[in-house]
Amino acid sequence: MPRINSPAELEELRKGILSKRDPNKSCITLCSGSACHASGSADVALRIEEEIKKQGLSAEVDLRRTGCHGFCERGPIIVIHPEEICYFQIEPKDVPEIFSQTIKEKKVLERLLYTDPITHNKIIHESEIPFYKNQERLVFGSNGNIDPKSIDDYLAIGGYSALAKALSRMTSEQVLKEVKKSNLRGRGGGGFPTGRKWEESRHAPGEIKYVIVNADEGDPGAYMDRSLLEGNPHSILEGLTIGAFAVGSHEGYIYVRQEYPLAVENVTIAIKMAEEVGLLGKNILGSGFDFNVKVHQGAGAFVCGESSALMTALEGRAGEPRPKYIHTAVKGLWDRPSVLNNVETWANVPLIINKGADWFARCGTERSKGTKIFSLVGKITNTGLVEVPMGMTLRDIIYKIGGGIPGGKRFKAVQTGGPSGGCIPEDLLDLEVGFDELTQAGSMMGSGGMIIMDEDTCMVDVARYFLDFLTDESCGKCVPCREGMRQMLKILTNITKGKGREGDLVLLEELSGVAGDASLCALGRSAPNPFLSTLRYFRDEYEAHIQEKRCPALSCKELIAYHIDPDKCQACMICLRKCPSEAISGGKNRIHIIEQEKCTKCGTCFELCPPRFGAVKKISGEPVPFPIPEGERILIRKSKEK
Amino acid sequence: MDKERIDRIIDKHQSEASSLIQVLLEIQSENHWLPKETLERVSEKLQVPFTRIQHIASFYKAFSLVPKGRHEIHLCMGTACHVRGAPRLLDMVQDLTGIKPGETDLDMKFSLETVNCLGCCALGPVMEVNGKTHGKMLPSKTADVLKNYE
């Protein structure tokens, strides 16, 4: 591809790409994000390619492997353009029929469509499916339409026009002013105003400055940054370059977890392509502005998501944070001014430059503008990535988009903000999501993980889980975090094992206070949040564990027992055969009994007992009923009695 | 791991001391663990003290200072998998393999690691063996999956 040297040449190139594309040619977009890949989208892609070849359709049909479409629950997903027919949970065996029916005959295959769970209507188009319909996908929307490995695809949807605008028609002050005016706040967790960070760096002394993409997405249950980086890497590069221009930086880094190999691959390809056409490198678009980007892989440390720790890691050292009396924007990487923003923050920048700060600020709450991508996971019907305007209520996100709780279970809490966040109970479901709103409720926005919990989730165990995570991930540099977390974890573990004592909760609160005040970085300071928020809203569960040695959610292994109800057992032998510890006695026509001494509480019997019998019970806080006497264990089947 | 392979990786990163983590990551990915002699070579070539290399190799989770088994099991312990029953799955895998997270069995057959999120939350709880994802796992299905690996 020839190098482009001016905005006019960029537009020429774009026109050239578009003129070669026939909007009426069939194009199958197949989600190839990590989640769909895990559900088999690579096999589907191979099958589609085979079919195109076999039928000699390469002139009539294109296959485009795109990034994540968002609706991970129903993957692998394909959309057939231009009709925009959406098929879900595709298997390789469905491919021939898709070709013979939909591609050739233009007939819709009902069985692969989305079925509305309430009306039972079949829905053909993505835009009519409730999961998509209620979203506002400004940042994430292009993911499903472009091949992340092709710069042409990004250019075809108007890519790099914001960069051209910034470099040719705006001064760096104007770019900064626009971002400041938009009130864009950091999407990585803290919610710090992006424009202010840029301004601080811009005015900081020093010739060499850095801009960095934080793609060290460590919150368990959050994967939007990965999907953006995998699915639309050029949008992040474009944002980063615009930021570099505003700050006066000529070197950028992308710090990405090594656990995200596809993201590393796609962003590396994107950098190479942008360099080839001259959208990165020297004298970008003839503006005289130089900018280069390098990819740096993280080596697996949660704390490296923290800005100063990330920069230490970039320098090739162990990622430990430092006190931030002087912001990293002034003294960061190699002690030089460094702007670090999250993936999603950078991806918002081209939109703001192209459409203006007022357009961006038109949606959202008073202090949180624009949209936010959440990863909606856990006990939810529609697992996936959703992008909604700030200010949407949790209830709308969970029920309108997420489709509510599966299996007829009752909603208990939503956990936001990752290990630094907290759990929000049912009576706060009408809370509007925004940085300050969530903080007031004792949680936080974080990077956007939203883990839904139902009645089977024990809140004490959730607090213990996060403390366990943080104890493991604490870098060990400061005492309040290193030792405080360890003590908190010890006490919480005891509580979940039925060894909780009076006074434990007071002690935990005290430890939380110290860790929260005295820790060096945000990891330690926010570490007590999962405990404090669950205590605030679910104190009764803590008390049940401590006082009655009972787990109300029937989840804590040490506090529950499995038991077979003799009146319901049909002696079907399923649990008996599958019990890994051979703890179930009985036989054909002999009611099964769990021998409590042998039971390891793995739950296999509970899972396998046919729902129509429902004979295996979980109990907590009460003694296990005595097994019925040997002589009464013969099962007399009702049908035979007659 | 032979010297030439190590040197090739180091040269690729222009022998810069700041690339230490990147160099170690590449060695880890090729060799599956970091033997002492390899680290000594890295220390010599990059002019980084051996103690600092040890600090880094033990600080970051991606590195292993002990050899790995033929099959690597990664069990997702992310929050979404946790609420969908990952702890019970872990118990079962531990029972079946006889090893705890971070360990390798004596036959060098399995290594077990827990990870904090594989990002396939729709498929939770997730178990990954040699990079292949097994979704919607149940303790009762575990034995059937593991018996496919020799």
Tens digit of each residue's pLDDT (9 = 90 or more) over A123-181: 999 989 999 999 999 999 999 999 999 999 999 999 999 999 999 999 999 999 999 99
Which residues have CB under 8 Å from B122's CB, separation 6+?
A35, A39, A72, A73, A75, A377, A383, A384, B135
Confidence of residue A633 (pLDDT cuts 50, 70, 90): confident
* Preferred mutation among B26, B55, B83, B91 to probe A, highest tally of A CBs within 10 A: B83
Please, which residues 358-387 of chain A have a Cβ atom closer than 8 Å to chain B? 375, 377-379, 383-384
- How far does the CA of residue A354 sit from the closest CA of chain B (Å)? 31
Could you say which DSSP state residue A620 is in? E
Measured between alpha carbons, how far is residue A3 from residues A8, A241, A274, A276 in Å? Answer: 12, 17, 10, 6
Q: Residue A118: is its pLDDT beyond 90? A: no
The three-point CA angle B8-B11-B12 to 5° equals 85
A40: buried, middle or exposed (CB in 10 Å: 19+, 13-18, 0-12)? middle
Given this model, what pLDDT does residue A425 score?
A: 96
- SS3 breakdown of chain B: % helix, strand, coil, rounded to 5? 50, 15, 40
Q: How far apart are the first and last CA of chain B?
A: 24
> Contact A38/B19, CB-based, under 8 Å?
no
| B105-127 tens-digit pLDDT | 999 999 999 988 888 888 889 99
| A250-294 tens-digit pLDDT | 999 999 998 888 999 999 999 999 999 999 999 999 999 999 999
Rounded distance between C-alpha atoms, residue A104 and residue A97, angstroms: 10
Chain A residues within an 8 Å CB radius of B83: 378-379, 451, 453-454, 457, 462
* SS3 at position B107: coil
Measured between alpha carbons, how far is residue A41 from residues A51, A65, A75 in Å? Answer: 15, 9, 8
Cα A206 to the chain's mean position, in Å? Answer: 37
| A55-79 tens-digit pLDDT | 999 889 999 999 999 999 998 999 9
Helix or strand run (H / E) with residue A388: strand A384-389
Rounded distance between C-alpha atoms, residue A161 and residue A544, angstroms: 59
State the CB neighbour count (10 A cutoff) for residue A23.
Answer: 8
Q: Is A414 on the interface with B (CB under 8 A)?
A: no
Given this model, what pLDDT does residue A394 score?
A: 96
Q: Is A318 on the interface with B (CB under 8 A)?
A: yes
A14-23: average pLDDT: 93
Q: How high is the ipTM of this complex?
A: 0.91
- How far does the CA of residue A174 sit from the closest CA of chain B (Å)? 35
Q: Is A449 on the interface with B (CB under 8 A)?
A: yes
Cα A293 to the chain's mean position, in Å? Answer: 25
pTM attached to this predicted model: 0.93
- How far does the CA of residue A505 sit from the closest CA of chain B (Å)? 23
The three-point CA angle B124-B126-B131 to 5° equals 145
> Contact A301/B24, CB-based, under 8 Å?
no
Structure tokens at B125: 């709880």
Q: Which domains does chain B have, with CATH numbers?
A: 3-59 (no CATH), 71-146 (3.40.30.10)
A497-520: average pLDDT: 95
User: DSSP readout, A115-166?
Assistant: E-TTT--EE-BGGGSHHHHT---SSSGGGGTS-TT-HHHHHHTTTTHHHHHH
Chain B residues within an 8 Å CB radius of A580: 92, 95, 139, 143
Rounded distance between C-alpha atoms, residue B92 and residue A317, angstroms: 37
Of B78, B115, B119, the CB nearest to A34: B119
Length of chain A: 642
Find the closest chain B residue to A383 by CA distance. Answer: B122
B72: buried, middle or exposed (CB in 10 Å: 19+, 13-18, 0-12)? middle
Which residues have CB under 8 Å from A81's CB, separation 6+?
A26, A27, A28, A29
Rounded distance between C-alpha atoms, residue A152 and residue A133, angstroms: 28
- SS3 breakdown of chain A: % helix, strand, coil, rounded to 5? 45, 15, 40
Q: Is B42 on the interface with A (CB under 8 A)?
A: no
Q: Is A35 on the interface with B (CB under 8 A)?
A: yes
Given this model, what pLDDT does residue A585 score?
A: 92
- How far does the CA of residue B140 sit from the closest CA of chain A (Å)? 6
Rounded distance between C-alpha atoms, residue A221 and residue A224, angstroms: 10
